[in-house]
Structure 1
């Protein structure tokens, strides 16, 4: 073999037979020959290897091609088999998928946009969906994913328009599927895309369902702040009732006044500052448990503000990705669905109109008034430190109103709400609830309604029923301002009276310190419905009423007087603007029904708009801390069914044994002779002209003595009113007389049926009282009878106490012309009768439609008669008698009395003419 020595020279190494080797010298030629041989052998070896490798490669390539062909064939065969089996499976699964979708996403929450059912109202309001449709698989199988009972979705898309389309579609589906007022959607659209305009019809009609989208950070802060309060309140209520999730609370309580809340954010994080991000994180952390859900379109191209980490919020939400026309939800991985096309605007508008119609007729489940009453064994318990009653419920908790003078002081209540939202029902619930708990001896009520409502009328007596609420002392049904002022004056005097009682017991400072007994005055409940009417005019009456009301709420607490002020609105009332704090600062209880944000703050407190968020009639915000938002209590007021209340009043009336009815005042009604006769006995020489506008039930009399100047001149339009005045004068005179007087009734009118009935009833009543009644109805007979009466006066032959009732002297023709056979006119005879008759025992009560006609008949001195009663009469005639400063509005069922004895004219409520069916009772009562 060849090797190299240490010197570097080439040497030949020979092998020994035993395998060893010994070096020996070799020639260069031999060495080169051997090298060439080796090279040739190596070349042959390489060639053979190359040929072998090429063959193997060709065979490998051929085999690979064969395998590829076989694989392709197998793939095609398997794909066809899989597609067939998949299609078969999908076809079999589609009905089940649709049934499941209908169950999880009921109604229109799972219906395709182009389905005819979107143009029908049949499925609208089917129910709150836990799932909502996002699209469909190719064969038409719906794909729905959970939303409302989760924290929500974060939607990303390769095109923002696709994300907005999905959010718009989801919002419309949820609105269409939910029952009225079970869902509210608030949207934030900082880039003014107008996407929520698809629901614009609903926003216009019912902004409490879908408010107008907000665009600024300040607007968003307000929305989120309100939601934080909602979340906190729900957490407390769920903990109180032992529920982990909002839907469990709804399921148990049936409460529909607290909706699911969906917050839609477009182009997040656009417009989101640190404050908004903080509230978003707080809400999203527990949103799914508290019925608050987010639907957020995330635009990764938007740069967030400093300190706004978008990942914190997005990680709490379920990812929804849109690529092209495909949408994939994280709950359904690997199931990309075809994104639904956009909704037609007309279809959406139609659905919104249907939702608005359903909202219009939606009602709450009612709480029966009976549920708020104690057991009958607990009725009429002695008053201790407070008056308390239940007005409704907050879930399972009774909503209490506790009227007390101290510890803490909760003496008065302010109630407000828009028209038709249940204010009258609330007042009736409160009034009857207190009446069932406390006896009339311990609780008296003054109830005044200053508008056209008639709800209080059922609490007083009526011809068709004998019973009334026995606690009611004064009842003003559609009271006028003058009567309201009279009641406030009366209550102010009552405070002074109670002050003297307290002093007599050793300077007692609070009614609660007086022991129960006959010396302790009853608590007073004063309800002034639409009280602002008292104060809204710029006049002396409003000024005095404001001062008295302020005094009543300030001092009434200690004296056991509790005031309930009820109103639709108090904005714009001038007298309240200067006394707002001094009056409402004494009224801790605030009860606000559904109303506007401005009126909600006026009733509750600035910044407290909770009442504007209410949805239904009968919902209320109850607050016992001057309207502090932290003390709002959301209650459902019980329903005061009229028959139920009437049965209760009858039962309480029987229990009380009372026979004395309340003082009832009605702006649109005259006084009733029978009611007055039941309460007051007539006095001789003091006939009744009507009732005062006051708490007292005593009628307003005039002095009529047999001396010159006696008599009454009734002036103004209205034959029925005039007959009522004459009836009151005549009946009270007849009833008070020791010996029945004689009456001569002259009628110068063409009587209507009502007047004829009233005139007949008056004649019948006078005759039943033992009076002789002569009637002169024909015009041609009036003049001769006047002359004959004048002759009895001149001759001193009147023959006892006699009254001339002249009904409509203005209607007698030719009163100022000389009568046939006489050298003077009938007017001259009448003037002599009126002037000279009283001294002879003949007194005239006469009616003329105008002062100037009366003056023509009686002369400018009007025969010395001082007493005038004006009905509907022009102002100039009234001032001619009563003075230039008198203002007379000539209102229906009102009269102005001027007797010449008092410095001012007095407004009275004249009596109604008697009806024929009232005669027997009227006679029985005045004879007592």
Structure 2
């Protein structure tokens, strides 16, 4: 497994997976009457249980923010370096600086570095030498370029060994890398997490095909965890099974992907009603073309409601819902992209949000402003939106949408915060799907 441009959430997922592996190995050791990997291999020479090496470059960045993620990672890392070795799991930490990090000071830092006997320090300051090698060991501050101190005894000064840093000659390394890659061809291709890569619904085609016909399911992007599986939410005929997406124009791709995944996973009778509030907007043109083409290729029934007819359409749908028998008729999805532009949204819209899902009529809506969203759904309307997604919007909007004044989440490129209130303990960060123009 390889993580490139990885987020702290992904790092946390890696630690959780390693602890799962550790617990499984220790269970097997106990059943086999041994206590370590070495003893297990000696008792069962034909058994295959490889050693695992976790390499973390710039590991101090995992504690860059004083929040629950940094706290949990610090706790798991401190426990891991103490417990993992017996099960054949090892940790290599690399960093340009570790001094001044609050998460690594006090008992947490002692618990971590007190379990790391092998320490290597390049030329740096006295303070960094103390932080890396140990208190009163300032040997790294007196080095020259391309020299290093290697210490195999927890930083004990008498165990310092000065060495020269080998030159990384690409003429030597390139053929070695090729040979190692070819030698590993018989093994499964490793999972690679690319935190900077834009994602499309096609990346999760296998998952989507596996869900085809299982019932309306929206894919909302890749979870920040090992395996990178998508976050999938079912839109059953239950109160609140609507989707609210708040954010900038980057939400176009996320909106289209949610609709297309619903179209693929729904029965052929499903119907889509598009509230056309973005007609003539170039940012919506390519996405609209992709959406129409995709729905047509699946043979789905699509009706486009022009802006001038939207109020009347909303009123009629509301009346139909009040008269209908719950559970009758095909599933219908009302798609509202750019709902901020509907200045005369009738109050009947609130009835659709409230009564629609249990009658098979769901809303997938996109707004840029939280105030508009709140006004259109009415007082007490938020419980009728189980699924909430925030993209590239301000922190206060995120807190309001997720109904959590203490939520600490920083909006950033190629990330979204998603939460299905009915099935998840809390919001999670995902890599959203990008728009067609990306």
Give the alignment's TM-score, normalised by structure 1. 0.42
Give 5+ residue unaligned stretches, structure 1.
1-471, 817-826, 918-928
1:693 and 2:224 aligned: yes
Change (3 A) 1:656 1:765: farther
SS of the residue corresponding to residue 637 of structure 1 reads: coil
Change (3 A) 1:886 1:905: same
Alignment map for 1:578-617 (pairs within 5 Å): 578=106, 579-616=108-145
Question: d(CA) in 2 for partners of 1:726 and 1:643?
Answer: 48
1:562 and 2:90 aligned: yes
Look up the match of 2:411: 890
Look up the match of 1:488: 15
SS of the residue corresponding to residue 98 of structure 2 reads: coil
Question: d(CA) in 2 for partners of 1:641 and 1:592?
Answer: 23
Change (3 A) 1:513 1:758: same
Change (3 A) 1:809 1:788: same
Given candidates 809, 821, 824, the residue that maps to 2:339 is: 809
Shift of 1:499: 0.9
Look up the match of 1:854: 373
1:868 and 2:385 aligned: no
Look up the match of 1:710: 241
Change (3 A) 1:775 1:560: farther
Cα shift readout 1:184-220 (whole Å, capped 9, x = no counterpart): xxxxxxxxxxxxxxxxxxxxxxxxxxxxxxxxxxxxx
User: Residue 882 of structure 1 contacts residue 898 of structure 1 at CA under 8 Å; is this kept in 2?
Assistant: no
Question: d(CA) in 2 for partners of 1:830 and 1:908?
Answer: 30
Look up the match of 1:546: 74
Cα shift readout 1:34-53 (whole Å, capped 9, x = no counterpart): xxxxxxxxxxxxxxxxxxxx
Look up the match of 1:508: 35
Alignment map for 1:649-668 (pairs within 5 Å): 652=181, 655-657=184-186, 662-666=191-195, 668=196
Question: d(CA) in 2 for partners of 1:710 and 1:643?
Answer: 58
Look up the match of 1:624: 152
RMSD: 3.6
Look up the match of 2:292: 763
Look up the match of 1:912: 433
Spell out structure 1 runs of 4+ moving beyond 6 A: none
Question: d(CA) in 1 for partners of 2:77 and 2:290?
Answer: 43
Alignment map for 1:735-884 (pairs within 5 Å): 735-739=264-268, 741-749=270-278, 755-776=284-305, 779-787=307-315, 789-790=317-318, 793=321, 800-812=330-342, 814-816=343-345, 827-862=346-381, 864-871=384-391, 872-875=393-396, 878-879=399-400, 882-884=403-405
SS of the residue corresponding to residue 568 of structure 1 reads: coil
Question: d(CA) in 1 for partners of 2:416 and 2:172?
Answer: 37
Shift of 1:730: 1.9
User: Residue 673 of structure 1 contacts residue 914 of structure 1 at CA under 8 Å; is this kept in 2?
Assistant: no
User: Residue 850 of structure 1 contacts residue 873 of structure 1 at CA under 8 Å; is this kept in 2?
Assistant: no
Shift of 1:553: 0.5
Shift of 1:742: 2.9
User: Residue 620 of structure 1 contacts residue 637 of structure 1 at CA under 8 Å; is this kept in 2?
Assistant: no
Shift of 1:828: 3.0
Change (3 A) 1:747 1:755: same
User: Residue 81 of structure 2 contacts residue 112 of structure 2 at CA under 8 Å; is this kept in 1?
Assistant: yes
Change (3 A) 1:879 1:792: closer
User: Residue 149 of structure 2 contacts residue 160 of structure 2 at CA under 8 Å; is this kept in 1?
Assistant: no
Shift of 1:878: 2.9
Change (3 A) 1:916 1:891: closer
Change (3 A) 1:650 1:848: farther
Cα shift readout 1:500-559 (whole Å, capped 9, x = no counterpart): 121122233234632677854332211122212223444443333222111111111111
Change (3 A) 1:548 1:764: same
Change (3 A) 1:521 1:761: farther
User: Residue 734 of structure 1 contacts residue 740 of structure 1 at CA under 8 Å; is this kept in 2?
Assistant: no
User: Residue 761 of structure 1 contacts residue 914 of structure 1 at CA under 8 Å; is this kept in 2?
Assistant: no
Question: d(CA) in 1 for partners of 2:358 and 2:89?
Answer: 52
Give the alignment's TM-score, normalised by structure 2. 0.82
Given candidates 203, 228, 240, the residue that maps to 1:675 is: 203
Given candidates 176, 199, 215, the residue that maps to 1:684 is: 215
SS of the residue corresponding to residue 882 of structure 1 reads: coil
SS of the residue corresponding to residue 687 of structure 1 reads: strand
Look up the match of 1:467: none
Shift of 1:567: 0.9
User: Residue 806 of structure 1 contacts residue 847 of structure 1 at CA under 8 Å; is this kept in 2?
Assistant: yes
User: Residue 691 of structure 1 contacts residue 700 of structure 1 at CA under 8 Å; is this kept in 2?
Assistant: yes
Change (3 A) 1:733 1:581: same
User: Residue 758 of structure 1 contacts residue 913 of structure 1 at CA under 8 Å; is this kept in 2?
Assistant: no
Given candidates 88, 98, 102, the residue that maps to 1:574 is: 102
Relative contact order higher in (CA < 8 Å, ≥ 6 apart): 2
Look up the match of 1:900: 421
Shift of 1:900: 3.4
Question: d(CA) in 1 for partners of 2:269 and 2:358?
Answer: 18
Cα shift readout 1:151-173 (whole Å, capped 9, x = no counterpart): xxxxxxxxxxxxxxxxxxxxxxx
Cα shift readout 1:728-757 (whole Å, capped 9, x = no counterpart): 322322222243633233343477756543
Q: Which one has the largest radius of gyration? A: 1
Question: d(CA) in 2 for partners of 1:670 and 1:746?
Answer: 27
Question: d(CA) in 1 for partners of 2:427 and 2:421?
Answer: 11
User: Residue 608 of structure 1 contacts residue 629 of structure 1 at CA under 8 Å; is this kept in 2?
Assistant: no
User: Residue 147 of structure 2 contacts residue 164 of structure 2 at CA under 8 Å; is this kept in 1?
Assistant: yes
SS of the residue corresponding to residue 552 of structure 1 reads: helix
Change (3 A) 1:891 1:770: same
Shift of 1:565: 0.8
Cα shift readout 1:592-638 (whole Å, capped 9, x = no counterpart): 2332333234323445545444444x554444343445542413334
SS of the residue corresponding to residue 502 of structure 1 reads: helix
> How many pairs are equivalent?
428
Change (3 A) 1:762 1:594: farther
Question: d(CA) in 2 for partners of 1:526 and 1:556?
Answer: 11
SS of the residue corresponding to residue 356 of structure 2 reads: helix
Change (3 A) 1:691 1:642: farther
1:634 and 2:153 aligned: no
Question: d(CA) in 2 for partners of 1:709 and 1:891?
Answer: 28
Change (3 A) 1:619 1:745: farther
Shift of 1:660: 5.2
